[in-house]
Structure 1
Amino acid sequence: MPDTTTLEQPALEQLFLKARTYNAFTGDVDDALLRRLYDTFKFGPTQSNTCPGRFVFVKSPEGKAKLGPALDKGNYAKTMAAPCTVIVAYDMAFYDKMPVLAPHTDARGWFSDSPEAELYRAALRSSSLQGAYLILAARALGLDCGPMSGFDTAKVDAAFFAGTKIRSNFLVNLGRGEPSSVHPRAPRLEFDETCRIE
């Protein structure tokens, strides 16, 4: 009987070892799959369960028209052609949700009076984690991903988050990856170059 406490090799390959960043996509990403995606990755841990990530799934021609002017030239065509682009963002007022997210304690007060720089670090850190969970959950559900920066955050914030305390972090194109759009895999650093055990 297999050890059910660890993932088998095909799952590891799908999530990490053979997964790639795609630059072109085919297919469609329907709304039901996006809801399933969120309902999967929302359980990933964040600092004190703050869950500051906010996600805009840009699919419509109108949404793409709003996003397009913010994209760097090198990201424009592939993003406009992707079935879906996720704006991974963070809410600087995330603490307002703490009575729901941490009902066992008065966690709102841990953050509400913090300096903006501390709120920014907390929101950016945990929303980045949530964006990574999104990528892994998408791969687990059979989607391919193309995460990227290369856009004007101020333009995205003005187009999608005006009048709020939500700020954009990074983008992820979603769909079925086109194999011809993948570059040869770049090297990674070895354990001894990046890690130590004490």
Structure 2
Amino acid sequence: MSLALDAAAQDLLFRGAQTANTFTDEPVTDEQIQAVYDLVKYGPTAFNQTPLRITLVRSQEARQRLVQHAMGSNGPKTLSAPLTAILSVDLDFHEKLPTLFPAAPGIKDAFFSEAASREVAGTQNATLQAGYFIVGIRAAGLAAGPMTGYDFSGIDKEFFGDGKQKSFLVINIGKPGADAFHPRSPRLAFDEAVTAV
């Protein structure tokens, strides 16, 4: 196989990594999360947009505020994880964009002046960044438990009352605990997913 990563790194990031449902009580430090972010911030996005915002939920009070918006078993999972992150889109991300084309200083306004198109672009690129963040968590030797089973409009009101951020994913983070993983579901084979034209 023509991959630059050795087999151990491939297993750590992909083949051996699964969504964790239980965690040990070993803490996840701010330094670990900063190291993850400082690595994955270089993942490619359109126009180098960085609309993803990460809110670390550490205190018990904040966890209780979060889990009131959880569906099913996601609440107990979140309460037992050493760290939980709310991933959201900063709807004003364009204000922090670097100058994209120095020869055309109005390009930022042309692309991002309308709120609706800005939200679409922000959501697409924040979703890309979320994938990088999950892989970065795995690269740190931690497990990720990403969840969409939350009332995100409720989370937005609870945590982002100014309306400038829209949440879309909650991730539990830590070392996997007992019976952390369900049996792996099958994936499509290469010839089922890839075509050449």
Q: Which residue of 2 aligns with 1:130?
A: 129
Aligned with 2:63: secondary structure? Answer: helix
In the alignment, residue 93 of structure 1 is paired with which amino acid?
Answer: D
The answer for unaligned runs of 5 or more in structure 1 is none
Residue type of the alignment partner of 1:46: T
User: What are structure 2's unaligned runs of at least 5 residues?
Assistant: none
CA distance in 2, matches of 1:182, 1:90: 29
Partner amino acid, structure 2, of 1:95: H
Residue 110 (str. 1) matches residue 105 (str. 2): no
Q: Which of 12, 15, 18 is 1:14 aligned to? A: 12
Q: How many corresponding residue pairs? A: 193
* 1:22 maps to amino acid: A
Q: Distance in 1 between matches of 2:15 and 2:40?
A: 20
Structure 2 Cα separation of the partners of residues 62 and 103 of structure 1: 45
Counterpart-to-counterpart distance in 1, 2:131 and 2:111? 23
> The residue matched to 1:180 in structure 2 has which SS?
coil
Q: 3-state DSSP class of the match of 1:177?
A: coil
User: Which residue is 2:194 aligned to?
Assistant: 195
Shift of 1:45: 1.1
Q: Deviations over 1:79-103 (max 9, x none)?
A: 11111111111011111112x3647
Give distance in 2, aligned partners of 1:16 and 1:94.
30
Alpha-carbon distance in 2 for matches of 1:60, 1:102: 39
Aligned amino acid, residue 23 of structure 1: N
Q: Aligned runs of 1:40-59 on 2, under 5 Å? A: 40-59=39-58
Q: Which residue of 2 aligns with 1:66?
A: 65
Q: What CA distance in whole angstroms lies between the structure 1 residues aligned with 2:86 and 2:163? A: 15
Relative to structure 1, the CA distance from residue 187 to residue 90 in structure 2 (aligned partners, 3 Å threshold; closer, same or farther) is same
TM-score normalized by the length of structure 1: 0.91
| 1:120 matched residue in structure 2 | 119
Distance in structure 1 (CA, Å) of the matches to 2:141 and 2:132 = 14
- Cα distance in 2 for partners of 1:44, 1:62 equals 33
For the residues of structure 2 that align with 1:64 and 1:115, how far apart are their CA atoms?
31
CA distance in 1, matches of 2:88, 2:99: 18
Number of the residue aligned with 1:141: 140
The answer on 1:163 being equivalent to 2:162 is yes
Q: Give the whole-Å Cα distance in 1 for the aligned partners of 2:178 and 2:10.
A: 19
Identity percentage of aligned residues: 34
Conserved 8 A contact 1:91-1:165: yes
2: CA distance, partners of 1:147 / 1:119: 25
In 2, distance between residues paired with 1:103 and 1:61?
45
Cα distance change, pair 175–152 in 1 and its aligned pair in 2 (3 A): same
